[in-house]
Amino acid sequence: MQTVDVLVVGAGLAGLSTARLLARRELKVMVVDRRRSLSAGIRTTGIFVRRTLDDFDLPDHLLGPGVRDVLLYPPSRRSPIRLTSDRDEFRVADMAAVNEHARRAAESAGAQVMLGVRYAGTSAGVVRLEGAEPVAARFVVGADGARSRVARDLGLDVNRRFLVGAEIVHPVAPGGGVPAFHCVLDPRVAPGYLGWVVDDGRHAHVGVAGDPAAMRAGVRHLLDAFAADAPGRSAPAGPVERRGGPIPVGGVLRRLACPSGLLVGDAAGAVSPLTAGGLDPCLRMSELAAAVVAGFLRTGDEGMLGRYDGAALRARFRGRLLLRRVFAGVRSPLAAEAAVAALRGRAGRALAARILFGDGSFPEIEPRPTTRTPLPG
């Protein structure tokens, strides 16, 4: 039986980033993922916000052009509110390529990445796998998504509040205009959240997300209905890809770690409950997770795990969780029209700009170094 210091379950950006950082600390790390290709099963739009772009040295050639304009639409689609930043606020990544880049970086750091291998459970330090022999692991990192099995096996907290989202992605013909992010507040197609179109001049992402209990027609049907006349959508200039999945919006979970393992990424609820963005949180929490795991395995001091405290992070989420409840309560077209109207004034536009362009969508985990952290390792 192979023995490793850390077994990471899930080869998304959170799992691969954590694996890379642990391997750089000279730990023996293995990553397993049930997918046979990292281009399969992508569930994120791939929007990186300015704060992430500032703090992490992401591979520029895998990012689309910068987006500075956001248009907010009421259900009627009339007279959208345009917010324009003086700098690039968003860039949309080719997530299949980003994941493959992160895989190569983890392997270059010394981690072993095994695809087509399904996690089947853990007990007494032995991890059972389908598609490979069992592995003896000193520690398990759950990076296995919003409905984490690792979390259940380790007795850690699990996500209970979700949105469900779906989107279509396709290339667009060049020369279509200024890149823009179109957001539609319409509870008929996206109850409790938004419909969106992000067109950066290379690709268009058209999606909806909302409360699954209120999406009686089904998210795929609602997406098709929205995409038929979505504002800002360009005609496909190539193959159309479909994505979808659950989005945890209950905030960071309280109990994230125990002496047997911890959670990162969506498994940890590391998603902004207000904007539903998860790429920035996954990179930030991966840094903390790697430092905590390395310290714990080096010293055996369980007190080290106290640094990875979800309850402390949740205390800094109160305002975001409150706004999430307000947002979720907008369930009629008239209420949505009124909400957008309230944002047309100076105070409303300032609030919208703060949410969309601000640095506070996810609280800072720990003080960051003054130099940017390179993703490639």
Angle made by CA atoms 242, 246, 250, in degrees to the nearest 5: 150
Q: Distances from the Cα of 177 to the Cαs of 38, 65, 170, 180, 236, in angstroms?
A: 32, 12, 16, 9, 15
Burial of 187 (0-12, 13-18, 19+ CB in 10 A): buried
**Cβ count near 85 (within 10 Å):** 16
**Cβ count near 225 (within 10 Å):** 15
Q: Is the dihedral of CA 338, 319, 181, 96 positive or negative?
A: negative
Joined tokens for residue 3? 């023995």
pLDDT digit string (tens) for the chain, length 377 residues: 899 999 999 999 999 999 999 999 999 999 999 999 998 888 888 999 998 999 998 999 999 999 999 999 999 999 999 999 999 999 999 999 999 999 999 999 999 999 999 999 999 999 999 999 999 999 999 999 999 999 999 999 999 999 999 999 999 998 778 899 999 999 999 999 999 999 999 999 999 999 999 998 899 999 999 999 999 999 999 999 999 999 998 889 999 999 999 999 999 999 887 777 889 988 999 999 999 999 999 999 999 999 998 888 777 667 777 777 887 888 899 999 999 999 999 999 998 898 888 765 555 666 555 555 555 44
Joined tokens for residue 106? 């983890």
Q: Distances from the Cα of 96 to the Cαs of 41, 45, 113, in angstroms?
A: 9, 11, 16
Whole-number Å distance between alpha carbons of 222 and 178: 27
Joined tokens for residue 131? 């598609």
Predicted pLDDT of residue 95:
93
Return the exposure string of 237-247: e unless at least 16 CB atoms fall within 10 Å of the residue's CB, then b.
eeeeeebbbbb
Whole-number Å distance between alpha carbons of 122 and 249: 27
CA dihedral 44, 316, 83, 329 (to 10 degrees): 80
Whole-number Å distance between alpha carbons of 209 and 246: 9
Whole-number Å distance between alpha carbons of 198 and 168: 11
